[in-house]
Structure 1
């Protein structure tokens, strides 16, 4: 049992660390031009004819990069929560109609997804730092479980929003014959983080329920012990009261039956029987007196 418990704790710690690393890859994708982050993007498409666009463009959370080749390059001015909205990125020239008609959908979904990823990263990273303390404290177990729950919800919401906007953009580019392609690395990392979050939620939830049940059992046992102690004290007081009824409280030292005063309390004692004379001794003494009298008369 101890081996399985330790294995579960170790697996949960590994999942928390791995999920934190995956979320770091997601939020910093496009901001660093070095391996392996320079290969991560959400969507690529042919943007020739767009105002100020490359022949092929790749969208990340920090900007639009040159899509020619396998690496992100020439990303230009970067900014956080960069929207996946060609209308806001390049202007209206040659933009497919879907991006113009549903501009708010693309703009807000991509920006909210970035914010949700940051919130999920914050909660899950703090849960990872505090998780070691749950091995020795039930209070930390509750804190970690709450943080994992919130982080898991925000992580799933972020991946859902980003997946929706990427698929919508891909369909819009496909309808316009723009050769769209979803970034497999970043999308795979995003859904892997969701899987890790769900597993972490169940593992920490099981640990939380187990510790809560143990604490409840301990509380019930303590209440049972308290009730037993109160019953014992009540029985003891009742027996002491019965013993007190056999004690007579009186200030008169002359009690019938040979009462003996002890302070202010007199205890009734049975009368002490006087020792009787030995009858054979008395008879022997009388016999000797009679014999002496007879001897005197004979003299």
Structure 2
């Protein structure tokens, strides 16, 4: 119990920090304030592509210009190719296909769509783990419940950041292969992976709390009566026979 009194508040703080960082990612581009105007996943030169800005930045709900300004309308899981018109000219061929209104390839359409959804699922389970961690200080059972919730949140979060990383790293490489400047968003990636790391630490702390109090089994009790074996030995001392009892 003494260990949980320390580990539970620490896990609560780390899960709370993970949720805050995740909100920074999800709300990127909502307002022109720091860090929301600096948080995006990819910035690329898109000048000369049909219907595109000179520079495009991909955020969570929006596709924007520099500093997350001049954004498109908010849309759930926006196709990455919505940065340009349908069947565009001069866009990297790996990114363009028949999906998203003839703007996005099959691969990038589904890669980011699933990544986008897993971000929201990770947020939901992180909130559940956050409140579950409040009971972790009550003992090993509370730590087990909170630890399970945190583990599920971590698993979902891992899928989210993996898909996000795969989507935008490959997208950056496609732009560079086409001779265009492209760079990953330091804030978007930093917040995403920082949130994941904080949740990982919280999960480890909660799992440590499950072991609080030790095994507690103690020494086993020996059941049954202790058998006493007596052996009698006889000795002949002259004409007398002497018997000794040994316990």
TM-score range, shorter chain: 0.7 to 0.9
From 189, 197, 215, the equivalent of 1:195 is 197
Aligned residue for 1:291? none
Matches within 5 A, 1:202-281: 202-210=204-212, 213-214=215-216, 217=217
Contact 2:56 2:64 in 1 (8 A): yes
Could you tell me how far 1:88 is from its partner in structure 2? 7.6
Could you tell me how far 1:201 is from its partner in structure 2? 1.8
Aligned residue for 1:15? 14
Aligned residue for 1:79? 75
Where does structure 1 lack aligned partners over 5 or more consecutive residues?
233-299
Aligned residue for 1:235? none
From 76, 86, 91, the equivalent of 2:86 is 91
> Partners in 2 of 1:152 and 1:211 — Cα distance?
26
Contact 2:144 2:206 in 1 (8 A): no
CA RMSD, Structure 1 to Structure 2 (Å): 2.6
> Partners in 2 of 1:212 and 1:155 — Cα distance?
31
Query: How does the TM-score come out when normalised to structure 2?
Result: 0.78
Could you tell me how far 1:113 is from its partner in structure 2? 1.1
Contact 2:25 2:40 in 1 (8 A): no
Contact 2:43 2:58 in 1 (8 A): yes
User: Larger C-alpha radius of gyration, 1 or 2?
Assistant: 1
Shift of the 74–87 alpha-carbon distance from structure 1 to 2, 3 Å rule, reads closer
Shift of the 123–87 alpha-carbon distance from structure 1 to 2, 3 Å rule, reads closer
- The higher-RCO structure (CA 8 Å, 6+ apart) is 2
Q: How many pairs are equivalent?
A: 218
Contact 2:111 2:163 in 1 (8 A): yes
> Partners in 1 of 2:125 and 2:85 — Cα distance?
35
The answer to whether structure 1 residue 41 and structure 2 residue 40 are counterparts is: yes
Where does structure 2 lack aligned partners over 5 or more consecutive residues?
98-103, 226-247
> Partners in 2 of 1:154 and 1:32 — Cα distance?
27
> Partners in 1 of 2:51 and 2:213 — Cα distance?
59
Shift of the 124–24 alpha-carbon distance from structure 1 to 2, 3 Å rule, reads same
Matches within 5 A, 1:99-110: 99-100=95-96, 103-110=105-112
Relative to its length, the structure with more helix (as a share) is 1
Could you tell me how far 1:72 is from its partner in structure 2? 1.0
> Partners in 2 of 1:211 and 1:30 — Cα distance?
47
Aligned residue for 2:53? 54
